[in-house]
Amino acid sequence: MFTPLVVVELASDTKEEAIAWILSRIRDQQQNGGVHVGVDPLNSKISFDCEKENPNMFLVGATRQRLLSGAEEVGLFKECNDGSMRGFTCANKHNFKDFEGDGDSFLNMAECQYIIKHELDTLRAKDETHVPGHTQVKLYPGKSIIRRLQSKGILIQIFPLHGQEELKRLSFSWYKKVKLSFQPLDNIRHYYGEGQALYFGFLEYFTFALVPMALIGVPYYLFDWEDYDKYVIFAVFNLVWCTVILELWKRFSASLAYRWGTLSRKKAFEEPRPGFHGTLGFNPVTGRKEPLYPNAKRQLRVYLVSLPFVLLCLYLSLYIMMIYFQMEGWVLSFHDEEPTFWTGILMFIPSIIYAVVIEIMNLIYRYAAEFLTEWENHRLESSYQNHLVLKVLVFNFFNCFASLFYIAFVMQDMVLLRQSLATLLITSQILNQFMEAFLPYWLQRRRNKKMIRKVQKRRTVEEKELPLAEQVRLEADMSTYLGTFDDYLELFLLFGYVSLFSCTYPLAAVLVVLNNVTEVYSDAFKMCRVFKRPFSDPAANIGVWQLAFEAMSVIAIVTNCALIGMSPQVKAYFTESETQLILWTVAIEHMLLAFKFILTFLIPDVPKHIQIKLARLEFESLEALKKKVRKTL
């Protein structure tokens, strides 16, 4: 008997013998090459009238003992009685803080689900050449069965179940009460895992980091200081601010990751991603059979196809931008000649067209980028993600900021810059909130209602909780959460608006703070109510996004220095020689860049007290080794 944790859905046309084989392999002892976890078909007590229900849904779970040994295998870090974080081992289980009795409540649900996912992923073919009943689904010794089923469409989905009780508690403390307090990050991590919790931690951190900027921005706006003379102070503040907060975030994130046990956790060896293909050979690291694809070929694809494609898209984006500015010019001259109400409205047309075209381009580009990155045939999911993030990032950066750069540095029109910044910021926020939160919520609500109506038809009114089978089917129909990619991308662009040009529009920080506050609520709501529960992701930091934000902060130094150099206030000091002004600006910019890099070196990425704890673990393992050596002599 086991608590159901994970749902596995197979295609409805899967052969009986394939199902029997899969179940027996999953249930088999580990000595026999199975993973020894429990799996049961989902029995709907209530058979619905409609025929669309898929009969091949299975619930997976495991015994407490199996989960504990799995925790050791995945290298889970847990808090010990002395307050340090150590890799869990069954032998030392009683040294761990929350291990009581048999350790029933030692692992939380998200951890158990992660362990089961990991175990299922490591279920490997023995001497089967294909899946029984499906001769086209080839196998070879060592191939991960789940991944093959996934890539051949037999496994439709695998997802962890929501914990209704815990979810209710979490959503109450997270977004249901309006309060002035931090998010329950530890609870979020407890329920969704470290990757999600780090995103919400970053979102919150970023919001708080913006507050001083917003506070400075308000008087600038209220007392009409934004006559471009006073923005020098604001730009200087921007400069320092965006360097410092990123450095401090690294430390904060290291603290979180240490507390959550992912900072020093060793990564398991990564399996090839499901879509990866190549000629069968032996992996030089594991010695296992797996498809191999020459790295040189992949590099050729990246540098000879993807890179030129991205550059072409950037050029196209620039070209469209230039057309937009031309249209703006025409409309303006048209309006100036004969200003009527209709020409006034006509003024808005180019902006609207441009905004729509940008959105469409973003969408098409996103598909193209996904296609290209898939075609590059990366062996690892992480490498795939990095290449995709890079492609999308660069293009989005260009699309969002190219026009602002053009206005600021080619047209040098600060009034227009402010207008454009405000327009871009406000429209993108409204669009985002609508697309991200309201729309999925509304769709989900419709789906839920339909389901509940269906169920209620056949039940007495007293039962308030849905029975397990219905709950599972309900969750199986929920949208799949596609990861934090889009959420981080949005934050990245907001960070760009604030750090690059906000000195010309001091209210930007205020708007972003407001946006972030609603974003916390809408994202929280989405996670709890709209999406299937995602598997937890034992992340130790925000990964490639840290780099992206740092790159943005370097660009921010350059733009802010240039804006300062172009300000009338500064120009007044260099009335006789423009050359002198530029040289000074460049010199100061170089000094600031150097200072930023020195600062990055000087501020340790991990706080001292955590460094000490990590050093102590290292020291203990060295000492233990020495003792072992002496004993064996």
Q: How far is the CB of 609 from a copy of itself (least distance, A)?
A: 9
90, 280, 304, 322: which one binds a copy of itself (CB under 8 A)? 90
Q: How far is the CB of 73 from a copy of itself (least distance, A)?
A: 5
Q: Nearest Cα to 502, choosing from 425, 588, 406?
A: 425
Nearer to a copy of itself, 344 or 604 (CB): 604
Tokens of 131: 């899946």
The structure tokens 């970053």 sit at: 202
Q: How far is the CB of 264 from a copy of itself (least distance, A)?
A: 14
269 binds a copy of itself (CB under 8 A): yes
d(CA 8, CA 6): 7
Q: How many CB atoms neighbour CB 479 within 10 A?
A: 13
Distance of CA 555 to the CA centre of its chain: 23
Q: How far is the CB of 34 from a copy of itself (least distance, A)?
A: 12
Q: Under rule CB under 8 A, how many of the chain's residues touch a copy of itself?
A: 37
Q: Nearest Cα to 588, choosing from 553, 568, 558, 551?
A: 558
Q: How far is the CB of 240 from a copy of itself (least distance, A)?
A: 18
69, 399, 403, 522: which one binds a copy of itself (CB under 8 A)? 69
d(CA 551, CA 546): 9
Does residue 542 contact residue 202 with C-beta atoms inside 8 Å?
A: yes
Nearer to a copy of itself, 266 or 464 (CB): 266
Nearer to a copy of itself, 179 or 608 (CB): 608
73 binds a copy of itself (CB under 8 A): yes
Q: How far is the CB of 91 from a copy of itself (least distance, A)?
A: 6
The DSSP result for 466-499, as a single string, is PPHHHHHHHHHHSBPP--SHHHHHHHHHHHHHHH
Q: Is 575 exposed, middle or buried (0-12, 13-18, 19+ CB in 10 A)?
A: exposed
Is residue 290 helix, strand or coil?
A: strand
Run of H or E including 134:
strand 134-138
410 binds a copy of itself (CB under 8 A): no
126 binds a copy of itself (CB under 8 A): no
1, 45, 179, 284: which one binds a copy of itself (CB under 8 A)? 284
Is residue 280 helix, strand or coil?
A: strand
Run of H or E including 87:
strand 85-87
Q: Nearest Cα to 256, choosing from 203, 189, 206?
A: 189
286 binds a copy of itself (CB under 8 A): yes
Contacts of 197 (CB under 8 A, 6+ apart): 185, 186, 188, 189, 256, 260
d(CA 145, CA 130): 10
1, 180, 285, 572: which one binds a copy of itself (CB under 8 A)? 285
1, 410, 572, 629: which one binds a copy of itself (CB under 8 A)? 629
Q: How far is the CB of 394 from a copy of itself (least distance, A)?
A: 11
Q: How far is the CB of 428 from a copy of itself (least distance, A)?
A: 26
Nearer to a copy of itself, 52 or 608 (CB): 608
Site for a copy of itself in 580-599 (CB under 8 A): 582-583, 586, 590
150-155: long-range contacts (C-beta < 8 A, 24 or more apart)?
Answer: 150/274, 151/274, 151/275, 153/11, 154/10, 154/11, 154/14, 154/18, 155/8, 155/9, 155/10, 155/11
Binding mask 28-57 for a copy of itself (x = CB under 8 A): --xx--------------------------
Tokens of 545: 């996004």
3, 54, 89, 255: which one binds a copy of itself (CB under 8 A)? 89
Is residue 71 helix, strand or coil?
A: helix
108 binds a copy of itself (CB under 8 A): no
Contact range with a copy of itself by CB under 8 A, out of 76-84, 234-242, 266-274, 348-356: 266-274
295, 333, 340, 460: which one binds a copy of itself (CB under 8 A)? 295
461 binds a copy of itself (CB under 8 A): no
Is residue 79 helix, strand or coil?
A: strand
Q: How far is the CB of 468 from a copy of itself (least distance, A)?
A: 30
Site for a copy of itself in 608-627 (CB under 8 A): 608, 612, 615-616, 618-619, 622, 625-626
100, 477, 578, 605: which one binds a copy of itself (CB under 8 A)? 578
Site for a copy of itself in 502-561 (CB under 8 A): 558
Contact range with a copy of itself by CB under 8 A, out of 69-77, 309-317, 346-354, 376-384: 69-77
The DSSP result for 520-543, as a single string, is HHHHHHIIIIIBPPPPP---SS-T
Contacts of 599 (CB under 8 A, 6+ apart): 243, 244, 247
Q: Nearest Cα to 310, choosing from 225, 378, 371?
A: 371
Amino acid letter for position 543 = G
Nearer to a copy of itself, 512 or 557 (CB): 557
65, 92, 105, 480: which one binds a copy of itself (CB under 8 A)? 65
Interacting residue ranges for a copy of itself, rule: CB under 8 A: 30-31, 65, 69, 72-73, 75, 89-91, 266, 268-269, 284-286, 295, 558, 578-579, 582-583, 586, 590, 608, 612, 615-616, 618-619, 622, 625-626, 629-630, 632-633
